[in-house]
Amino acid sequence: MTPPPTQWVILAGLLGLLVGSFLNVAILRLPADMSLVRPRSHCPRCGGTLKWYHNIPVVSWLTLRGRCAFCGERISVQYPIVELATAGIWAGSVYAFGFTPHAAQAVVMMSILLAVAITDGREYVIPDELSLGGVIAGLAMSFLPGTPTPVGSLIGVLVGGGVLWVIAVIGTKMFGEDAMGGGDIKLMAMIGAFVGWQGTLLTLFIGAILATIVFVPINLRSKKLVPFGIFLAIGGAVTFVWGEWLLDWYLRGFA
Ligand SMILES: [Zn+2]
């Protein structure tokens, strides 16, 4: 496939900046069950309401040097990073997949996964608005041309959620404590809606390997809870982009 015109990629990146700005609000407010629209964005310390020119993605954070315009309170670098990452997702998806339904699925799925990874990492919470909202979005978008089909998407939801649910039940029986949160189950259902049932298994495989590599060394020293959602989110994104290639390579190697 020939890459799309450069201006489309740039436009997608700019849209991604705006979406990232919205994701920042969602990341902050959804875990606390707050409204996404009210009140308007304000400084948590002095309460000053942001003017429109304090709300320009990345640019405002840079011109304000990462501080509140009213009281000088530090503004987390997480804000511009999420905005840039989302812009990268959008520009990269349009560059790689063109102006196609596949690119639309890519930006929706990966924008949600980015937000999930951060809420899970910060607060061990995966808001239903993101996971279940993603299930609905994935099922709806499966009616677009391409894979997965609506049936494939639905099976992906059932397998993704189902496998983790079984693991959770077994884990609870064996260890007497919740090994797997309900949020992870709903997250895997969402990933399944976008990548189908084979993709969910690959996602779990990648997620488990990454979680083991990163968290076993940390866990030996401190008994820190594993935000497994982060690794599932990364596994899901990798599967969306390279899943077919990986499964093909794996099956050929062992056939
Ligand atoms: Zn302030």
Q: What is the pLDDT of residue 4?
A: 87
pLDDT digits (tens, 9 = 90+) for 149-202: 999 999 999 999 999 999 888 888 887 766 667 899 999 999 999 999 999 999
Q: Is the pLDDT of residue 25 over 90?
A: yes
Q: Which residues surround ligand 1, an ion (CB under 5 A)?
A: 43, 45-46, 48, 68, 70-71, 73
Report the C-alpha gap between 22 and 13 in whole angstroms.
14
The answer to the question of residue 26 being in a domain is yes
Burial class of residue 19, CB neighbours in 10 A (0-12, 13-18, 19+): buried
The answer to the question of residue 109 being in a domain is no
Q: What is the pLDDT of residue 2?
A: 74
The answer to the question of residue 121 being in a domain is no
User: Do 92 and 142 have their domain in common?
Assistant: no
pLDDT digits (tens, 9 = 90+) for 196-215: 999 999 999 999 999 889 88
Q: What is the pLDDT of residue 27?
A: 95
Domain residues for the domain of 208 are 133-255
CA of 83 to the centre of ligand 1 (A): 21
User: Do 156 and 201 have their domain in common?
Assistant: yes
Q: What is the mean pLDDT of the chain?
A: 91
Burial class of residue 114, CB neighbours in 10 A (0-12, 13-18, 19+): buried
CA of 151 to the centre of ligand 1 (A): 50
User: Do 177 and 82 have their domain in common?
Assistant: no
CA of 61 to the centre of ligand 1 (A): 13
The answer to the question of residue 115 being in a domain is no
Full-model pTM:
0.92
Q: Two tokens at 106?
A: 């890519």
What's the DSSP call for residue 127? -
Spatial contact of 99 and 211, defined as CB atoms under 8 Å apart: no
User: Do 144 and 244 have their domain in common?
Assistant: yes
Query: Among the residues of 30-149, which ranges form H helices?
Result: 59-63, 78-97, 101-123, 128-141
